[in-house]
Chains A and B, each alone.
Chain A
């Protein structure tokens, strides 16, 4: 790989622009998608690999190309700079997620509590979520179990294409939440997207254990979980 191509690829990644490094096998001729002009069939293969988030070798005519996918990081938006968030943030960062913690309570939402590997927003949760615009590569977890903070975030998240939405709280808390969100005009199907009680049921007790159970559920949502395994 030429040094200037590596620099262009790293610039695209730093700017969080989806990119694909295209390498012809075995001679190593390379282009960067979508910056460089490439034949339509190769562009289509690159687009499709980016969509699937899967690097792969494709055969086009009598040529083989390796498409290396460089999508921006998955994002995790955590509402509530609470005790569980303190455990969740570094674990999610280790999984490669770009993490944003949203909490308008400035005493909680500090870098000292949340660490340096996180973006902090002290906006009201609905404003913060609207600005973050969750997409298909975003997970949203609400942890405050305070309706005035969690609900506005959920109202935005449930109308977004976020791939995962989880909400801390017991079954009873969640039943009340469902009633409030219904009152707010969300449909049954929208509300059914909430994972609650949040996390896989592994009997988690401590904050780090709950963080593990939440992240395990996020990964299962992303990767397909047991269902996908069974289909293979």
Chain B
């Protein structure tokens, strides 16, 4: 089945934990302008590189996954800003022109 909002990212995170994976969760907590994914959208990431869900139209998932790996190692949550006024957004290419905040936390 294709990725839709009907997908249960929390359930997938739980399954991955049960399999012994180290898991982090990224959640869109605020958006401005034309961000493609609304607040509450989630991306689950494992230390081994598995991904489920999304926090944008594909623009920032790679960068978020990198931060998620740091968070999994340190256990410290992070609040990330992505937007056209942010140099980091240029680096990762937020082509949609929106702005968003993403909260990244370790699960378990």
- Range class of the B interface residue count: 20 to 34
* Chain B 1-45 residues near chain A, CB threshold 8 A: 1, 4-6, 10-11, 13-14, 17, 25, 27, 29-30, 38-40
Min distance, Cβ A24 to any Cβ of chain B, angstroms: 10
Min distance, Cβ B26 to any Cβ of chain A, angstroms: 12
Is there contact, CB below 8 Å, between B105 and A1? yes
Q: Which residue of A has the minimal Cβ distance to B108?
A: A3
Given contacts A3-B108, A26-B79, A68-B27, is CB(A10)–CB(B40) below 8 Å? no
Tally the A-B contacts, defined by beta carbons under 8 Å: 66
Is there contact, CB below 8 Å, between B10 and A10? yes
Is there contact, CB below 8 Å, between A55 and B4? no
Min distance, Cβ A79 to any Cβ of chain B, angstroms: 23
Please report the C-alpha to C-alpha distance between residue A25 and residue B27 in the assembled complex, in whole angstroms.
12
Chain A residues with a Cβ under 8 A of chain B: 1-3, 6-7, 9-10, 13, 23, 25-28, 54-57, 66, 68-69, 93-96
**Could you give, for residues 91-108 of chain B, a 1 whenever the CB lies within 8 Å of some chain A CB and a 0 otherwise?**
000000000010101111
Which residues in A have their C-beta under 8 angstroms from that of B30?
A: 56-57, 66
Please report the C-alpha to C-alpha distance between residue A170 and residue B75 in the assembled complex, in whole angstroms.
61
Is there contact, CB below 8 Å, between B6 and A2? no
Q: Which residue of A has the minimal Cβ distance to B7?
A: A96
Min distance, Cβ B36 to any Cβ of chain A, angstroms: 15
Of A1, A25, A56, the most chain B CB neighbours within 10 A belong to: A1
Please report the C-alpha to C-alpha distance between residue A219 and residue B61 in the assembled complex, in whole angstroms.
28
Is there contact, CB below 8 Å, between B25 and A54? no
Which residues in A have their C-beta under 8 angstroms from that of B1?
A: 94
Partner of B6, one of A55, A66, A69, A93: A93
Is there contact, CB below 8 Å, between B103 and A25? yes
